[in-house]
Amino acid sequence: MSFPDIDPIAFSLGPLVIRWYALAYLAGFLGGWLVARRLAGAESLWGKVPRPSKEQIDDFIVWIALGVILGGRLGYVLFYDLGAYLGRPHEILFVWQGGMSFHGGLLGAVIASFVFARRNGLIGLSMLDIVAVTAPIGLFFGRIANFINGELWGRPAPDFPFAVIFPFAGPVPRYPSQLFEAATQGLVLFIVMLIAVAVLGMRRPGMLAGIFAIGYAVARVFCEFFREPDPQIGFLMGEWLTMGMLLSLPLALVGIVAIIAARRGLTGPGGPPSAKAGSA
């Protein structure tokens, strides 16, 4: 089917132009902020783990926004198109032209979480657990915005009944891979994280972050089989391995380590049980 005629500009107020992409970021941060405040206010979820106040969450969302935007942009430049930006370094600042890396944004969020926690007497992994629960909201809206912009389209799929002819990708019908990513990395992963919160709570710092890391890595690798790789990089091996897959592998490994450490009690207040026993 033909690509729906959707203007990437949502509306304008005089010279001020508001794009769907910007609204997607706003919706992601707003939704994440509301969920994070609910988590912070649910005392029963935390046990003995230091719990941030709702006022601290208000500040924390600003830190995360800066970490995601700066990390996402720098990650895209370093991982996906360094050669081009070395020749035009001033365009690194042109975030409205697109070009954001999830893995770079995640690294920025990790740094912001630990710095914020250190400044506020909290546990960094606990703050990262909050990010893990709320991140799928932003991923969902961000991938929908990618579809509206007609970017990051899928691989050719002439026999797929819901294939889309994207305006900038030639006449070939392609997978709407952005919608696949919105469904898996956004909606499905958000449901998984809510179930994890209900079952595990926030009592083992790093546990939810580990679950998110593995869940995202699996969803990303799956969707990469339908998504066209960035043209400046192409396939890294054969006709299947992409940069998105490659960056997701260490993320999954970090998630496994985080879950093991959390299960063994290595991340909670006071450190591992043996250390607490030895100091008694």
pLDDT at 276: 43
How far apart CA 74 and CA 102 sit, in angstroms, is: 11
Q: What is the pTM of this model?
A: 0.89
Is it the case that residue 98 has pLDDT exceeding 90? no
Average pLDDT of the chain?
Answer: 90
Give mean pLDDT, residues 221-241: 92
Give mean pLDDT, residues 260-270: 90
Give mean pLDDT, residues 73-98: 72
Residue with tokens 């450490």: 261
Distance of CA 119 to the CA centre of its chain: 24
Report which secondary-structure segment, H or E, holds 206: none
What DSSP state is assigned to residue 96? G
Which residues lie below 8 Å from residue 65, measured CB to CB, with a gap of 6+? 29
Report which secondary-structure segment, H or E, holds 32: helix 20-41
Residues making up the binding site:
143
**57-61, 203-207, 240-244, 253-257: the lowest-pLDDT one:** 240-244
The answer to whether residues 163 and 157 touch, using CB atoms and an 8 Å cutoff, is: yes
Is it the case that residue 37 has pLDDT exceeding 80? yes
pLDDT, tens digit, 9 for 90 and up, residues 131-169:
999 999 999 999 999 999 999 999 999 999 999 999 989
pLDDT at 28: 95
pLDDT, tens digit, 9 for 90 and up, residues 186-196:
999 999 999 99
State the greatest distance between any 2 C-alpha atoms of the chain, in Å, as a whole number. Answer: 72
Residue with tokens 């790789």: 229
- pLDDT category, 57, cuts 50, 70, 90? very high
Per-range mean pLDDT, top range of 8-17, 68-77, 219-228, 230-239: 219-228
How far apart CA 59 and CA 61 sit, in angstroms, is: 6
Helix (H) and strand (E) counts for the chain? 10, 2
